[in-house]
Amino acid sequence: QVQLVESGGGLVQAGGSLRLSCKASGRTFSTYVMAWFRQAPGKEREFVAAFSWTANTYYAPSVKGRFTISRDNAKNTVYLQMNSLKPEDTAVYYCATRPGVPTVWRGSAFGSWGQGTQVTVSS
């Protein structure tokens, strides 16, 4: 069983930056895929970014070039640096993990989730 705890959300103006953190505990962290998803009000949860245990990174087209995912295996923590934020980035951001890279980056492929952290970008 793995536990994930997100932090770092908040309110920021458009064009600003935030860094989210997700700390994992409960099992070996280094060999799992760590991912970020987000869900805006009235919308389905969508994939944002992921970092595999082989150090490959994956990004949704809407955030590529603005967001950077990284991980610190020694701290069992994955980060999401979000720059040039837009109002449409407003959502609850969730951390998730699974043992391998999925065929499709959808929430149903992940079995372990954090509680989420709210990111609000004002225009």
Is 8 in contact with 116 (CB distance < 8 Å)?
no
How confident is the model at residue 31, as a pLDDT?
A: 72
CA distance 44 to 54: 29
Residue 110 has pLDDT above 90, yes or no: yes
The phi, psi pair for 116, rounded to 5°, reads 95, 155
Averaged pLDDT for residues 73-101: 95
Residue 119 has pLDDT above 80, yes or no: yes
Residue 44 has pLDDT above 90, yes or no: yes
Residue 74 has pLDDT above 90, yes or no: no
91 is written with which tokens? 């959502």
Q: Which helix (H) or strand (E) holds 80?
A: strand 77-82
What pLDDT band is residue 28 in, cutting at 50, 70 and 90?
low
How confident is the model at residue 29, as a pLDDT?
A: 65
β-strand pairing of 117-122 with 10-13: parallel
Averaged pLDDT for residues 73-78: 89
What pLDDT band is residue 1 in, cutting at 50, 70 and 90?
confident
DSSP per-residue codes, 24-57: EESS--TTSEEEEEEE-TTS--EEEEEE-TTS-E
